[in-house]
Amino acid sequence: MTRILVTGASGLLGLNLALSASERHTVTGVDRCKLSGVPFDLICANLLDRGTVDRVLDTARPDWLIHCAALANLEACEADPDLARRLNADLPGGLAAACARRGVKMVHISTDSVFDGTKEEPYTEADAPSPVGMYPVTKLEGEQNVLAADPKAAVARVNFFGWSLGGKRSISEFFFNNLSAGKRCNGFTDVWFCPIFVGDLADTLLRMLEKGLSGLYHATGSDALTKYEFGVRLARRFGFDETLIDPISVGQSELTARRSPILRLSVHKLSTALGMEIPGVSTGLDRFYTQFQQGYPQKIRSYAQGESTQVNK
Binding site for ligand NAP (CB under 6 A): 8, 10-14, 30, 32, 34, 46-48, 68-70, 72, 87, 109, 111-112, 139, 158-160, 169
**Least gap, CB of 182 to ligand NAP (angstroms):** 26
Nearest alpha carbon to residue 203 among 8, 24, 42: 24
**Closest CB to ligand NAP among residues 1, 216:** 216
**From CA 80, how far away is CA 154, in angstroms rounded?**
27
Shortest Cβ 2–ligand NAP spacing (Å):
21
Cβ closer to ligand NAP: 50 or 293?
50
Nearest approach in angstroms of CB 205 to ligand NAP is 11
Of the two residues 84 and 213, which places its CB atom closer to ligand NAP in the complex?
84
Nearer to ligand NAP among residue 68 and residue 235 (C-beta): 68
SS3 178: helix
Hey, which residues does 67 pair with through a beta bridge?
Answer: 7, 108
Inter-helix orientation angle 281-293/198-210, to 10°: 110
**Using CA atoms, how far apart are residues 301 and 126, in angstroms rounded to an integer?**
39
**Shortest separation between residue 232's beta carbon and ligand NAP, angstroms:** 19
Using the minimum distance from each CB to ligand NAP, give the nearer residue, 194 or 245: 194
Minimal distance, residue 144 CB to ligand NAP, in Å: 15
DSSP letter for 37, please.
S
CB of 95 to ligand NAP, least distance (A): 11
In whole angstroms, what is the distance from residue 295 CA to residue 256 CA?
35
Q: Which residue is nearest to ligand NAP (CB)?
A: 11
What string of DSSP letters covers 14-32?
A: HHHHHHHHTTTSEEEEEES
Considering the complex, state which of residue 153 and residue 184 has its C-beta at the smaller distance from ligand NAP. 153
Q: Taking a C-beta distance cutoff of 8 angstroms, is the pair 278, 223 a contact?
A: no
CA distance 235 to 179: 7
- Cβ(273)–Cβ(211) below 8 Å: yes
